[in-house]
Structure 1
Amino acid sequence: MIAEAIDAAEFRRILGHYPTGVCAVTAMKEGKPKGMVVGSFTSVSLDPPLVAFLPDRRSKSWADIAVAGDFCVNVLSQHQQDVCRALSSRLEDKFENVPYRLSSGGLPIIEGVVAWIACRPYAVHEAGDHDIAVGEVYAMAVEHPHTPLLFLQGGYGSFLPLASIP
């Protein structure tokens, strides 16, 4: 079977019908917080505890995080669209207006997140124009049990569990 060429815009439009959670991956490099937004975070394994995200290989933020070593996945809440925009920007200091604290391991935890997951690098695999970055979890916590920020069809929203519907 011969595969037909897939138009990138059409690919993105169609896959945009599937919601993704919005996370910020953070690290410290040379004493400064670095961060990027990803919509590709997932659990990988329970034993050992592994998670993954898929950063664009051309991303300067990913380059900074990749060389920094340990990283923290911050699950953004439905109230953190401003954080998402700040960390998605090309500003040199993306954390200028993003409040955070350092974990006991020295990783940036963004204030107000649903949860955070601290990881050490486990593996990086090439996948087209992206990498598959796998981290081994060594610490984590729920900060605020709010609903997470979701991205769907070019916009942000949240999820209302069926159990919450009267």
Structure 2
Amino acid sequence: MLEQTAPVSAPLDQRSFRDILGRFATGVVLVTANAAHGPVGMAVNSFTSVSLEPPLVALCAGRSSTTWPGVRAAGRFAVSILGEGHAELCRLFSERGAERFSGREWAYTPAGHPVPAGALGWLDCEISVIHPAGDHELVVASATEGAMSGAAAPLVFHAGRFRGLAA
């Protein structure tokens, strides 16, 4: 017979909410765009597929992001799926004010968006709709082109750390 116990609970403040969600492992992507003033990009772990027909994806961008306004204004972006060897690059793309694009090897999608060397795959996307969502914006985008380009293990974010995926 199964025994029922009440879970231990605590008030849901911002820190505990973040800690609880940190237990959920996510993949990590770079979102890059060829903006009016040059390339812009940010690391995103709130990314998901939405629909196969039509091909749609979604991501959440922080309203306080200094990068998101450039991506939003471009109306188009690339999503690069990162491998476990991209942890340092991902950290760099998470820092405010960091020089993100120089001194690295980049390929470019047909729409002209940068994709880091060794990305596991990429999608060119066009923004379809943006919904306000608290301190973020929920972005739904149409995937217009894409390719798989690597076979390494994916980069995973869990409990505040980047990890590889154990076989």
Q: Which runs of structure 2 are paired with 1:2-151 in the superposition (5 Å)?
A: 6-30=12-36, 32-91=38-97, 93-151=99-157
How far off is 1:160 after superposition?
A: 2.7
Can you give the 5+ residue segments of structure 2 that lack an aligned partner in the other structure?
1-9
**Residue deviations 1:88-147, cap 9 Å, x none?**
121253212332122221111111111101101111111111111111011011110211
Once superposed, which parts of structure 1, at least 4 consecutive aligned residues long, lie more than 3 Å away?
none
Residues 78 and 134 of structure 1, relative CA distance in 2, 3 Å threshold: same
Q: Secondary structure of 2:54's match?
A: coil
Quick one: which amino acid aligns to residue 59 of structure 2?
F
After superposing the two structures, state which structure 1 stretch, 68-77 or 92-101, moved more.
92-101
TM-score between both structures, scaled by the size of structure 1 = 0.90
In structure 1, how many angstroms separate the alpha carbons of the residues matched to 2:92 and 2:98?
A: 11
Q: Secondary structure of 1:58's match?
A: coil
How far off is 1:31 after superposition?
A: 5.3
In structure 2, how many angstroms separate the alpha carbons of the residues matched to 1:104 and 1:18?
A: 34
CA contact (8 A) 1:23 1:73 kept: yes
Can you give the 5+ residue segments of structure 1 that lack an aligned partner in the other structure?
162-166
**Aligned sequence identity (%):** 36
CA contact (8 A) 2:43 2:93 kept: yes
Quick one: which amino acid aligns to residue 13 of structure 2?
D
Alignment coverage as a number of residue pairs: 158
How far off is 1:5 after superposition?
A: 5.6
Q: Which has more radius of gyration?
A: 2
* Aligned residue number for residue 5 of structure 2: none
Quick one: which amino acid aligns to residue 82 of structure 1?
E
Q: Secondary structure of 1:13's match?
A: helix
TM-score between both structures, scaled by the size of structure 2 = 0.89
